[in-house]
């Protein structure tokens, strides 16, 4: 973990099992079963998205947790059955299974992310009936994609239930919507390459929220994440560089220098 000013940054990538990383991020001869341990020696957190399709067995989670340091954190994407098929309704059985599964991470659980479908419109009642079922001691974030959710009523509801708003650099999600609904945030950076000025702009935007912790994950939509992006972000957090605000365009073209 890296602490910038008073905020703790836990940053990583979406997934770690990428053969193309062998020879640069991972040693050429390192076996795949040792990749997670090697990852955790270089980055402080990871976003697990395979849980969107199926939940792993408890034994697998225990093996993951045993392979990483005590201060490493796992973020887990909730299953599509809850978010996309049932759309948060009548999910008592599925939630119970998810809660029992992520509890196996114990103190190494960073957050559970519920990413709602693109075309699901705002329903305050639907969201509140869902949130009231979630244990208060398990950190949770919600990612909205439809514009109708971004209103004060929903932000107040997240705040009431101590739920983080997932901030993303998608084109439809400007940094002006980086809203503090709890004392930590969940940031998803969705492009393949970022220049230092792009990253410094995000550090500034999130820093203005005056939070305790930021979980930040590089999760490109059409490409493998690049560990160097995370390493550069953590370097900038540890030693801030001047920001040229005019060059930072959230959701726009990303620089590669």
CA atoms within 13 A on the CB side of 65: 19
Q: Taking residues 202-229, what's their average pLDDT?
A: 91
Q: Do residues 16 and 47 touch, judged by C-beta distance below 8 A?
A: no
125 C-beta neighbours (distance < 10 Å), count:
7
Q: What would the two tokens of residue 19 be?
A: 């053969």
Q: Do residues 180 and 213 touch, judged by C-beta distance below 8 A?
A: no
For the segment 22-39, what is each residue's pLDDT rounded down to a tens digit?
999 999 999 999 999 999
DSSP state of 108: G
For the chain, give percent helix, strand, coil, nearest 5: 40, 20, 45
For the segment 57-95, what is each residue's pLDDT rounded down to a tens digit?
999 999 999 999 999 999 999 999 999 999 999 999 999
pLDDT band at 230 (very low <50, low <70, confident <90, very high): very high
Q: Taking residues 221-238, what's their average pLDDT?
A: 92
Q: In which region does residue 44 sit, left (phi positive, over 0), alpha (psi from -120 to 50) or beta (all else)?
A: alpha
pLDDT at 173 (0 to 100): 60
Kindly give the residue spans of alpha helices, DSSP state H, lying in the chain.
35-40, 58-66, 80, 92-102, 124-131, 152-160, 196-207, 227-238
pLDDT band at 169 (very low <50, low <70, confident <90, very high): confident
Q: What domains does the chain contain, in order, with CATH numbers?
A: 2-247 (3.20.20.410)
pLDDT at 195 (0 to 100): 93
């Amino acid at each position: 973990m890296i602490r910038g000013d008073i905020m703790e940054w836990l940053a990583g990538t979406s997934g770690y099992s990428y053969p193309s990383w062998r020879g640069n991020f991972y040693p050429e001869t390192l076996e795949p079963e040792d990749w997670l341990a090697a990852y955790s020696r270089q980055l402080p957190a990871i976003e697990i998205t395979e849980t969107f399709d199926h939940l792993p067995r408890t034994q697998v989670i225990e093996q993951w947790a045993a392979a990483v340091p005590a201060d490493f954190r796992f973020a887990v994407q909730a299953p599509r059955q809850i978010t996309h098929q049932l759309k948060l309704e009548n999910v008592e059985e599925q939630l119970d299974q998810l809660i029992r599964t992520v509890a196996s991470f114990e103190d190494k659980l960073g957050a559970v992310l519920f990413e709602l479908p693109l075309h699901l419109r705002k329903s305050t009642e639907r969201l509140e009936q869902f949130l009231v079922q979630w244990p208060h001691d398990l950190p949770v974030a919600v990612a909205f994609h439809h514009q109708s959710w971004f209103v004060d009523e929903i932000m107040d509801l997240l705040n009431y239930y101590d739920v983080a708003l997932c901030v993303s650099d998608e084109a439809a999600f400007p940094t002006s919507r980086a809203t503090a609904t709890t004392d930590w945030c969940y940031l998803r950076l969705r492009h393949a390459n970022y220049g230092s000025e792009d990253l410094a702009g995000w550090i500034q935007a999130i820093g203005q929220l005056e939070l305790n912790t930021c979980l930040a994950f590089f999760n490109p939509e059409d490409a493998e994440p690049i560990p160097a992006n995370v390493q550069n972000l953590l370097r900038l957090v540890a030693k801030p560089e001047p920001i040229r605000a005019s060059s930072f365009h959230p959701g726009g073209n990303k620089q590669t220098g």
